[in-house]
Each structure stands twice: as C-alpha cells, then as structure tokens.
Amino acid sequence: MPQIDQIAATYGSQIFWLLLTFGITFFVIGLGMFPKIQGTVDARDKRIADDLEAARAANVTADELEESYRVKMENDRSEAQALVEASKAKANAAAEKRKDKANADIATKLAAAEADIKARAGEALKEIEGVSAEVAQDMVAKISGAKVTKAAALKETKAALKHG
C-alpha cells in the first residue's frame, strides 16, 4: 500500500518538527518561565502566610491591650468607689460633728431656759406666798377682827402651799 509507505516519508519530518517545537517550548517554558512563576507563587504564599501571622500577632496584642484596659478600668472603678466611700464617711463624720455641736448648743440653751424657769418659778412662788399672806391677813382681820402679823401669815401660807 502506497499510503503506508508515504507515512514514514511525509510524517517523519512533521514528527521531527513537532518534537523539536515541543522540546523548545518545554525548555523555554519549563526551565525558563516556570521557575519564575513558581517563585512568584511561592513569594505570594509566603507573603500571605506572613500577613496572616502578623494579623494573628496583632489580634493577640489587641486582646492583651483590651484585657489590660479592662483591668485598668476595674482598678479605676475600685479606686473611684473607695473615694466615694471615703467622701461619704467624711461627710457623715462632719454631719455627725455638726449634729453633736447643735445638740450641745441646744442642751446649753435648754439648761439655761430650765434655770431661768426655775428662778422665775421661785420668784412667782415668793410673790404668791406674799400675796397669799396679805390676803390671809386681811381675811383674818375682816372675819375675826384679830390682827395677825405679816410673818405669822407668811409662815402659815408657806405651810399650806407646801402641803396643798
């Protein structure tokens, strides 16, 4: 068959040029371009990995900062509460001191008022005794006609008022 005989002669040169083209393409792309592309991909993968690691580190740092912020806020809150309690205690002590001073002033005024009332009551009692003695003296004189001394009338009036 003549077609089969032509295959070796016709297609032999085509197969040669095909293998030569694929070989050149393999060497140019496989040995020249592929390592550059692979280097770029590896560099990109490394940069992504480094960026992820930096993000994790930043996240850890942010968590630490947040925790330190929370601790500081709690400490500040505790200090503020202590200051409030100290201020309350100080204000209560000052109010108690003012109250005690006011109570002492009231007690002093009350004692003075009681002493004044006692003194006036004594004076009023003396006046009542004097008036009562005069009235008794006048009554005895009008009823019985007898004369009673002022001292005797005063003595009897005092005795009647004490038992009365």
Provide the pLDDT for residue 112. Answer: 95
Residues in the chain: 164
- Which residues have CB under 8 Å from 161's CB, separation 6+? 125, 128, 129, 132
The count of structural domains within the chain is 1
Residue 122 lies in a domain: yes
Provide the pLDDT for residue 22. Answer: 93
Residue 136 lies in a domain: yes
Residue 98 lies in a domain: yes
Provide the pLDDT for residue 98. Answer: 96
11's tokens: 């297609």
Residue 3 lies in a domain: no
Provide the pLDDT for residue 158. Answer: 80
Average pLDDT per 10 consecutive residues for the chain, totaling 164 residues: 67 85 89 89 96 96 96 96 96 96 95 94 86 85 83 82 70
Provide the pLDDT for residue 55. Answer: 97
Provide the pLDDT for residue 3. Answer: 65
Contact 131, 115 (CB under 8 A): no
State the residue range of the domain holding 23. Answer: 8-163
Q: Structure pTM?
A: 0.42
Residue 22 lies in a domain: yes
Residue 2 lies in a domain: no
Provide the pLDDT for residue 109. Answer: 95
Provide the pLDDT for residue 81. Answer: 96
Residue 1 lies in a domain: no
Residue 14 lies in a domain: yes
